A and B are shown apart, each in its own frame.
Chain A
Amino acid sequence: MRTALTARLLGALSLTLVLILSCALPAQAAQPPLQVVSSFSILGDLVKQVGGDAVVVSTLVGPDGDAHVFEPRPVDARRVAQADLVFVNGLNFEGWMARLVTSSGYRGKVITASQGVKPRQMKDEHEHGHDHDHDHGNLDPHAWQDLANGIIYVENIRAALVAARPEQAEAINARAARYSAQLREMDAFVRNTLARVPAEKRRIITSHDAFGYFGAAYGVELLSPQGRSTESEASASDVAALIRQMKAKQVRAVFVENVSNPRMIERIAREGGGVVGGRLYSDALSSNNEANTYLKMFQHNASTLASAMLKQ
Chain B
Amino acid sequence: MSVLSILPLAVDPFIEFGFMRRALVACLALALCSGPMGVLLVLRRMSLVGDAMAHALLPGAAIGFLLAGFSLGAMSAGSFAAAMLVALGSGAVVRLTPQREDASFAAFYLIALASGVMIISIHGSSVDLMHVLFGAILAVDDAALLLIASVTSVVLASLALIYRPLIVECCDPGFLRALGGRGGLYHFLFLCLLVATLVSGFQALGTLMGVGLMMLPAVTARFWARSVGGMAAVAVLLAFVAGYLGLLVSYYADLPSGPAIVLVAGAFYIFSLLLGRHEGILSTRFLRQVHKEF
Contact = CB atoms under 8 A, between A and B. Distances in A.
Q: Do they bind each other?
A: yes
Contact of A236 (B13, B70, B125): B13
Given A128-B254, A236-B251, A240-B251, A263 B136 contact: yes
A261 B70 contact: yes
A7 to B, nearest CB: 41
Given A239-B19, A261-B131, A267-B139, A233 B258 contact: yes
Interface in A259-299: 259-264, 266-268, 270-271, 284
Contacts, number: 93
Nearest to B128: A69
A100 to B, nearest CB: 15
A271 B18 contact: yes
Interface stretch (A59-67, A163-171, A302-310): A59-67
Given A263-B139, A267-B139, A267-B141, A66 B126 contact: yes
A238 B19 CA distance: 12
Nearest to A61: B124
B251 A262 contact: no
Which of A64, A234, A235, A260: most chain B Cβ within 10 A? A235
A230 interface: yes
Contact of A69 (B130, B134, B257): B130
Given A64-B126, A73-B121, A267-B139, A233 B134 contact: yes
Interface residues on A, range: 20 to 34
Contacts of A130: 254
A240 B121 contact: no
Interface string B51-75: 0000000000000000000100000
A260 B251 contact: no
B238 interface: no
B256 A235 contact: yes
B126 A267 contact: no
Given A261-B136, A267-B138, A236 B126 contact: no
Given A236-B247, A240-B20, A261-B70, 12 more contacts: A64-B126, A71-B121, A73-B121, A235-B255, A236-B20, A236-B138, A239-B17, A243-B19, A260-B128, A261-B136, A264-B138, A264-B139
Counting from the closest, the 6 A-B pairs by CB-CB distance are A236-B250, A236-B251, A233-B256, A264-B139, A263-B139, A237-B254
Interface of B: 13, 16-20, 23, 70, 121, 124-126, 128-131, 134, 136, 138-141, 247, 250-258
22 contacts: A62-B125, A64-B126, A65-B124, A65-B125, A66-B125, A66-B128, A126-B254, A128-B254, A236-B23, A236-B138, A236-B251, A237-B251, A239-B17, A239-B19, A240-B251, A260-B126, A261-B131, A261-B136, A264-B138, A264-B139, A268-B19, A270-B141
